């Protein structure tokens, strides 16, 4: 079984607005609501890939109930911990319209490819609720995969990921960490099976050059030396790099396509890697072949989301995977 943990889920309200003017009433042309957060995004893409999983995390208040019900209605298995106070956050995303032209009166840059985001903090996670999560984590069985991703809300220290990994020591659980800064660095000594920084994040963590492939490889090696087993570096339009636990280096350019939406592309990459490895091993492939397939499916899923208005769909993933592996 695969489990995802999202500490700070969100409801994203994406509005397309022409010529935003501060201090005035602005009306949007379109609005879309997305229910997610990094781990939830991973769960949704795993569903597209027919990988059974359960989304865990924290929700609060009326907005938390709405998010939970929306996921259930969409077929995502979830078992959230309900916090005693606060509200699950709502993030406002303002985007330009496709036919926008620059205006001298506008107070923001216009255009369909420009986004201004206002992300809320989210509710505070109290000690009792956090303990409930740690109790739940003890139910994970040998051979299962646990994916913890994203930032943490108020009330949590930056050692919380490390504490989760420490609790899984010796239990034959593969733990994936998709986080930045000290959240990720503190977890490395406990041997996460996979860490998935992007080029900017690995540069921040290791001091490597994010624009140089050799530098990124050295950064990946540095993370391995600190405890990570596999390091997958996503590079947006430049492709991806994988340094696997057997010392093999995998590199590939990004598939050709038109960027539509980069939100969730990294989460989709994680889902693709986990699904690709799991399915390859279930099919009887050896570990080297499993990592080759995992890397290919990770690229396909990440690009499928980047080329779509929302998260990747199975058809787009399959089309891209055929191009990558063909």
What are the tokens at 143? Answer: 């051979």
Tell me: pLDDT of 102 over 70.
Answer: no
Query: In the prediction, which pLDDT does 19 show?
Result: 79
Res. 104: pLDDT tops 50? no
Q: How many CB atoms lie within 10 A of CB 261?
A: 17
pLDDT score for 112: 55
Q: Taking every pair of C-alpha atoms in the chain, what is the biggest distance, in angstroms?
A: 62
Residue count of the chain, please give it.
326
Q: What is the model's pLDDT at position 109?
A: 47
Residue range 111-132: mean pLDDT, rounded: 84
Average pLDDT, the chain: 90
In percent, the amount of the chain with pLDDT more than 90 equals 68
Q: Are 183 and 214 in contact (CB under 8 A)?
A: no
Query: What are 117's strand-pairing partners?
Result: 93
**Model confidence at 115: pLDDT above 80:** no
If pLDDT is split at 50, 70 and 90, which confidence band does 100 have? low
pLDDT of residue 40: 95
What pLDDT, in 10s, does the model give residues 26-40? 898 888 888 888 999
Token pair belonging to 311: 């998260």
pLDDT at 274 exceeding the cut of 50? yes
pLDDT digit string, tens, across residues 236-267: 888 999 999 999 999 988 888 888 877 888 99
Q: Which of 229, 196, 199, 217 is nearest to 298 (CA)?
A: 196
pLDDT at 105 over 60: no
For the residues of 68-87, what is the DSSP string, one character each? HHHHHHTT--B-PEEPSSS-
Q: Which tokens in the block code for residue 100?
A: 């926008």
Q: Which of 63, 86, 72 is nearest to 11 (CA)?
A: 63
User: Binning pLDDT at 50, 70 and 90, where does residue 101 land?
Assistant: low
Q: Is 19 a catalytic residue?
A: no
Q: Is a pLDDT exceeding 80 seen at residue 103?
A: no
Exactly one of 12, 100, 178, 267 is catalytic; name it: 267
Of 42-46, 94-98, 127-131, 153-157, the one with minimum mean pLDDT is 94-98
């Amino acid at each position: 079984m695969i489990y995802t943990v999202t500490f700070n889920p969100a409801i994203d309200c994406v509005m397309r607005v022409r010529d935003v003017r501060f201090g005035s009433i602005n009306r949007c042309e379109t609005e879309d609501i997305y229910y997610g957060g990094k781990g939830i995004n991973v769960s949704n893409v795993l569903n597209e890939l027919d990988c059974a999983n359960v989304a865990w995390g924290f929700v609060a208040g009326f907005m938390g109930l709405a998010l939970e019900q929306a996921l259930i209605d969409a077929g995502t298995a979830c078992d959230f911990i309900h916090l005693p106070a606060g509200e699950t956050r709502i993030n406002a995303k303002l985007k330009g319209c496709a036919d926008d032209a620059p205006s001298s009166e506008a107070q923001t840059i216009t255009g369909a490819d420009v986004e201004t985001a206002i992300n809320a903090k989210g509710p505070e996670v109290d000690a009792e609720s956090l303990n409930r999560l740690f109790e739940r984590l003890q139910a994970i069985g040998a051979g299962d995969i646990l994916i913890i991703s994203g930032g943490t809300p108020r009330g949590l220290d930056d050692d919380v990921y490390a504490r989760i990994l420490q609790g899984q020591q010796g239990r034959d659980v593969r733990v994936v960490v998709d986080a930045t800064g000290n959240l990720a660095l503190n977890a490395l000594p406990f041997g996460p099976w996979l860490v998935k920084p992007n080029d900017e994040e690995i540069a921040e963590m290791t001091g490597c050059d994010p624009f140089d492939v050799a530098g990124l490889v050295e950064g990946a090696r540095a993370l391995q030396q600190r405890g990570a087993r596999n390091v997958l570096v996503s590079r947006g339009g430049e492709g991806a790099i994988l340094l696997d636990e057997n010392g093999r280096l995998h590199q590939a350019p990004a598939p050709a396509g038109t960027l539509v939406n980069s939100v969730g592309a990294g989460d989709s990459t994680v889902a693709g890697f986990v699904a690709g490895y799991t399915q390859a091993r279930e099919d009887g492939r050896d570990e080297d072949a499993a990592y080759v397939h995992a890397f290919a499916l990770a690229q396909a899923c990440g690009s499928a989301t980047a080329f779509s208005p929302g998260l990747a769909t199975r058809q787009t993933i399959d089309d891209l995977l055929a191009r990558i592996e063909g």
